[in-house]
Amino acid sequence: MTKVHLDTDLGGDPDDVCALALLLKWPDVAITGITTVSDENGKRAGYTKYVLQLAGKESVSVKAGADVTGAYYRYKPRFPKEENFWPEKISPSPNPVDEALELLKSSIEQRATIIAIGPFTNLALLDKKYPGILQQATVYVMGGYAYPIREGYPQWTNDNDYNIQLDIASAKHVFANSSPTVIPLTVTVETALRRAYLPKLRQAGKLGELIAKQAEAENDVSYNEERLGKVYQGLPADILNFQHDTLACAVALGWDGVTIEEVPLRFEIKNGFLHEVIDVHGRKTRIVTKIDAERFNELWLNTVTRESTLPRFSIGMVESPAFSYIILTQFALEFGKS
């Protein structure tokens, strides 16, 4: 059983929900806790609990972490219109930030892999409260811009790296005080959540329906099909959103469709932005440098839409989960009598 802790800014574009769905559906994964970052009075925590409820996983502990009122961020992150992205009004779930830090600490003590798919604020706050704790942890982070983006994809720059550039002080602290595996923007930009996936998602229960709804809502705001899909030949024409955070989760779970290299990096702040500079004298950092994007996109879709089936049992031509359950239950009752 693989233990993971997700640190997320779920509540913006859909890739955080897609990432959580992957963790919930991946075989033999136990989520020891979820903390939200760049939250606003527990709004993201409330959204996260709602997603878990749809998936029937309400027992997973969720705590709201660093809040936008804490003066950590370059600017205040905005939330999309709730009525467009969510099927109903969702109540916030606030708590003191220390509760989130204690949940993170507990996960590290359980040797869970920490997957950070938002700004790194919670990780930095944790390490400042418990100096050295990040060095004990296995950490995967989504963000970074060491190598340029390949041709055929949006030619974004280092300044577009949201997770790192929103809170550069925390990002610099985490890179200096841990040994993370980095899943950078420069490879996640090759992933895609496609319109072609929507019919299958809508047949995959309430969580699949939510992802389909949010994917269309995101495209209505960002016009990704028009702006990106019809412009960049490396992307599918029907792209609705990227899967930045989802790829980070797959890498943390050991998916083998990536190349990971140790790259010597030096981190410096220039013109108000954090830069990762390749330097032979820099700190060796594990970075994903290449991915099989098409394979990943299909892996995600097949994983999040697969049915959770009961053990199967066959007699003659009859085979179904419901029938298997009846037969096995009767067998157990009879066995108990003997």
DSSP state string for 152-184: TS----GGG-HHHHTTHHHHHHHHHH---EEE-
- pLDDT digit string (tens) for the chain, length 338 residues: 999 999 999 999 999 999 999 999 999 999 999 999 999 999 999 999 999 999 999 999 999 999 999 999 999 999 999 999 999 999 999 999 999 999 999 999 999 999 999 999 999 999 999 999 999 999 999 999 999 999 999 999 999 999 999 999 999 999 999 999 999 999 999 999 999 999 999 999 999 999 999 999 999 999 999 999 999 999 999 999 999 999 999 999 999 999 999 999 999 999 999 999 999 999 999 999 999 999 999 999 999 999 753 343 333 333 344 433 433 333 343 334 33
How far is the C-alpha of 50 from the C-alpha of 42, rounded, in Å?
A: 12
Output the pLDDT for position 316: 36
Q: How many CA atoms lie within 13 A of 149 on its CB side?
A: 22
Output the pLDDT for position 323: 37
- First-to-last C-alpha distance (Å) of the chain: 34
| Closest alpha carbon to 242 in 255, 232, 252 | 232
Based on the fold, state whether residues 326 and 223 are members of the same structural domain. no
Per the CB < 8 A criterion, the answer to whether 141 and 181 are in contact is yes
Structural domains counted in the chain: 2
User: pLDDT digits over 56-81, tens only?
Assistant: 999 999 999 999 999 999 999 999 99
User: pLDDT digits over 75-105, tens only?
Assistant: 999 999 999 999 999 999 999 999 999 999 9
How far is the C-alpha of 189 from the C-alpha of 173, rounded, in Å?
A: 25
* Phi, psi at 166, each rounded to 5°: -70, -35
Based on the fold, state whether residues 296 and 334 are members of the same structural domain. no
Output the pLDDT for position 308: 55
- Rounded to a whole number of angstroms, the CA Rg of the chain reads 21
Based on the fold, state whether residues 295 and 159 are members of the same structural domain. yes
How far is the C-alpha of 40 from the C-alpha of 73, rounded, in Å?
A: 12
Domain region containing 265 = 2-305
Based on the fold, state whether residues 181 and 260 are members of the same structural domain. yes
Q: Exposed, middle or buried, 148 (CB in 10 Å: 0-12/13-18/19+)?
A: exposed
Based on the fold, state whether residues 283 and 320 are members of the same structural domain. no
pTM of the model: 0.90
Based on the fold, state whether residues 74 and 170 are members of the same structural domain. yes
Q: Strands 193-194, 239-241: parallel, antiparallel or unpaired by DSSP?
A: antiparallel
Based on the fold, state whether residues 272 and 325 are members of the same structural domain. no
How far is the C-alpha of 250 from the C-alpha of 23, rounded, in Å?
A: 8
Based on the fold, state whether residues 195 and 316 are members of the same structural domain. no
Based on the fold, state whether residues 290 and 323 are members of the same structural domain. no
Based on the fold, state whether residues 315 and 301 are members of the same structural domain. no
Output the pLDDT for position 307: 77
Q: How many CA atoms lie within 13 A of 55 on its CB side?
A: 26
User: pLDDT digits over 244-277, tens only?
Assistant: 999 999 999 999 999 999 999 999 999 999 999 9
What 3-state class would DSSP assign to 205?
helix
How far is the C-alpha of 124 from the C-alpha of 129, rounded, in Å?
A: 9
**Per-residue exposure over 126-139, b if at least 16 CB sit within 10 Å of its own CB, e if not:** bbeeeeebbeebbb
Based on the fold, state whether residues 247 and 261 are members of the same structural domain. yes
How far is the C-alpha of 261 from the C-alpha of 177, rounded, in Å?
A: 20
Based on the fold, state whether residues 200 and 72 are members of the same structural domain. yes
CATH for 50? 3.90.245.10
Output the pLDDT for position 322: 42
